[in-house]
Amino acid sequence: MATNLPAVDAVLAGFGWTGAILGQQLCDAGLNVVALERGAWRDTPTDFATTFAQDELRYMWRHHLFQNLAYDTLTIRNRTDQEALPMRHLGSFLLGTGVGGAGVHWNAQIWRFLESDLKAYTHNLQRYGKAAVSAYDMTIQDYPLSWDEIEPHYEAFDKLCGTSGRAGNLKGVIQDGGNPFEGPRSAEYPNPPMAMPYGPTLFAKAAREKGYQPFPHPTGNVSRPYTNPLGAQLGQCTYCGFCEKFGCGNYSKATAQTTILPYLMMKTNFTLRTESEVLKVETTADGKRATGVTYVNSAGEEFFQPAQIVILSAYVLQNVRLMLLSKIGKPYDPHSGEGVVGKNYAYQTMGSVNVFFEDKIMNPFIGAGALATVVDEFNGDNFDHTGLGFIGGGYIAQLHTGGRPIEMIYTPQGIPKWGTEWKRAAARNYLRAVNISCHGSVMAHRGNYLDLDPTYRDSFGRPMLRMTFDFSDNELKMSRYLVDKAADIALAMEGVSAVKKNYRTGSWSVVPYQTTHNTGGTMMGDNPTQSVVNKYLQSWDVDNLFVMGSGAFPQNAGYNPTGTVAALAYHSADAIKNQYLKSPGPLVRA
């Protein structure tokens, strides 16, 4: 029997980026807020500055920051005719846990989606016709909001993080040195771009010679000391090369810990309970209103936390699972096409090119999470797709994320994967090689979805989440196109001796790491028959339930998702404060 606790205005299930944003926004509006985080407390200085933050073996390979799959996992398959099996080892994506979630170990790559990304269905339909948007059983949809609606919230996140970069489209005027394809920005970036090392500089020169318009990657690795609007101070990046999969002990990377927590933890109307896993959203008998959540603490004690507003702010996969376990919304059935919860799961399509030099030293250990030069000519619909057999695209970047000596060893084509010859090639090329990343989109397809596994259960007896996903020919053709374009730039780089193309081929595999950019399953839309939440991330079925995160994406764009995840969270918080609290109920009528 769960112990009843005193009621609060809002309860947050999960405390990563979106939980921190909603917590700060709602506490500032005067609400009493309780956040429930299933992982442990984690703070930047104590956990990373003094505990070997640059320990690649501990953090990358022994997964110190990530979810323990012996405690909680999901099942995986490519198609519905296969048996789904539990993911026993972290691979394709690295699930975060603890305060700050996956935002602790991200690269801080901060992107805004393209205007055409927000209207993926109607834009491609109008330009390429019905066949283009229905090929490969695609189920893509438009976002239910416009660029003008979301842009101010992108700007809020940039200011929070102190994003470093250069505007390419400032109030509708194209600027030299920035991304000319981006939507109109209301302001310049808070901080200037990071200083570029040798590799990205050579890449930029080659790209310009090919007629492209390279620009510095926008990043939450701050290029100079910065104080954000909440008074949180970030230190200048030291280019140590340990961002991705690591916490930052220098206060140089934007995370919930460095940008929001110092402010939020001083609020008397905010409570954070760690090691508290939400089991279910409780609802009224008719299922139309959430009454709170049931959760269990580390001692195995169950509690019921009543709340006027329930916000799912865990990682996308957990949010979908909680919706399904709580029986909120109709689960998606890929055979009939009916239902919406779990529908339109998507991922990212990664390819790359390794570039080798004979007499140039790249110093790969000088790095940061988003230290890169980028070209965007082949992202979204920035190029003509006529006759290519796919829609979507991605950015091409020479990223210097760091020369971590276990993870980042590149050897030329034809070298064995182990043995004496491999060792010689690894030693020879460590300082003389760079990697060009092709970060591509994934369109939504009828057969890619999330549901509850009928066989496997967790330690609480609940069904595990089941993921059914594979790349289609749309993604494979797009990836090959991007890799070929990247190789073309690579061959134009000064002093290059060889290139190695790494295409994305065959079925998706959970084994090798790709990205932690899982999306869909609680997608947003204009009506409840085609979406789980409305434009404010409010559940169509339970109007005092709001669902954050990349689950809202109808399909995944070529960019990293966090900037859009945060912008949608700010957009939702604004609607809760200025509309819902004044008149509780549906913010959009079905």
**Residues in a beta bridge with 459:** none
589 in a structural domain: no
pLDDT for res 406: 87
pLDDT in tens, 1-12: 899 999 999 999
pLDDT at 268 over 70: yes
- Computed over every residue of the chain, the mean pLDDT equals 96
Specify whether the CB–CB gap between 435 and 354 falls below 8 A: yes
Average confidence (pLDDT) over 272-284: 98
182 vs 408, higher pLDDT: 182
- Kindly tell me if the per-residue pLDDT of 46 is higher than 70: no
On the question of pLDDT at 76 being above 90, the answer is yes
Establish if 585 belongs to a structural domain.
Answer: no
Is the dihedral angle over the CA atoms 144, 149, 153, 155 positive or is it negative? positive
**Residue range 184-211: mean pLDDT, rounded:** 98
DSSP readout, 491-529?
HTSTTEEEEEEE---SS--SSS---S--B-SS-B-SSTT
Which alpha helices (DSSP H) does 335-455 contain, by range? 420-429
- Axis-axis angle for helices 562-575, 17-28 (nearest 10): 20
Is it the case that residue 581 has pLDDT exceeding 60? yes
- What predicted TM-score, i.e. pTM, was given to this entire model? 0.97
Please pick, among 123, 217, 400, 517, the residue that the annotation labels catalytic: 517
Rounded CA separation 192/335 (Å): 50
Question: Is 517 a known active-site residue?
Answer: yes
Residue showing tokens 């771009």: 193
Mark residue 37 as left, alpha or beta (left: phi above 0; alpha: psi -120 to 50; beta: remaining): beta
Give yes or no for residue 49 having a pLDDT over 80: no
Under the banding of pLDDT at 50, 70 and 90, the label for residue 252 is very high
pLDDT at 163 over 80: yes
Mean of the pLDDT values across residues 369-388?
Answer: 98
pLDDT at 387: 97
Say how many domains are in the chain.
1
Amino acid 589: pLDDT: 85
Q: Using alpha carbons, select from 259, 260, 268 the residue that is nearest to residue 30.
A: 268
Q: What is the pLDDT of residue 405?
A: 87
Label residue 428 by pLDDT band (50, 70, 90).
very high
Q: What is the pLDDT of residue 50?
A: 52
φ and ψ at residue 148, rounded to 5 degrees:
-65, -30
| Residue 161: inside a domain | yes
Would you say residue 260 lies in a domain? yes
In a domain, 590, yes or no: no
Q: State mean pLDDT over 383-397.
A: 98
Q: Structure tokens of 77?
A: 């398959």
In this model, does residue 48 exceed pLDDT 90?
no
Whether 562 is covered by a domain: the verdict is: yes
- Percentage of the chain exceeding pLDDT 70: 98
How far is CA 536 from each of CA 453, 545, 569, rounded to the nearest angstrom? Answer: 29, 11, 8
CB 499 within 8 A of CB 220: no
Model confidence pLDDT, tens digit, residues 534-552: 999 999 999 999 999 999 9
Q: Measured between alpha carbons, how far is 120 from 185 in angstroms, rounded to an integer? A: 20
Q: How confident is the model at residue 47 (pLDDT cuts 50, 70, 90)?
A: low
The strand ranges marked E within 358-440 are: 372-375, 394-399, 433-440
Q: Report how far residue 548's alpha carbon sits from residue 552's, in angstroms, rounded to the nearest whole number.
A: 7
pLDDT for the residue numbered 211: 98
Per residue in 110-145, pLDDT (tens digit) is 999 999 999 999 999 999 999 999 999 999 999 999
250 pLDDT band, cuts 50/70/90, is confident
**Position 357 pLDDT exceeds 70:** yes
Q: What is the pLDDT of residues 10-29, one digit of tens each?
A: 999 999 999 999 999 999 99
H runs (alpha helix) in 326-432: 420-429
Asked if residue 588 is part of any domain, the answer here is: no
Task: Please report the pLDDT score of residue 42 as a whole number.
Answer: 85
What is the domain extent for residue 482? 3-580
Residue 543: predicted pLDDT: 97
Q: Is a pLDDT exceeding 80 seen at residue 368?
A: yes
Where residue 321 sits, what CATH number does that domain have?
3.50.50.60
pLDDT at 560 over 70: yes
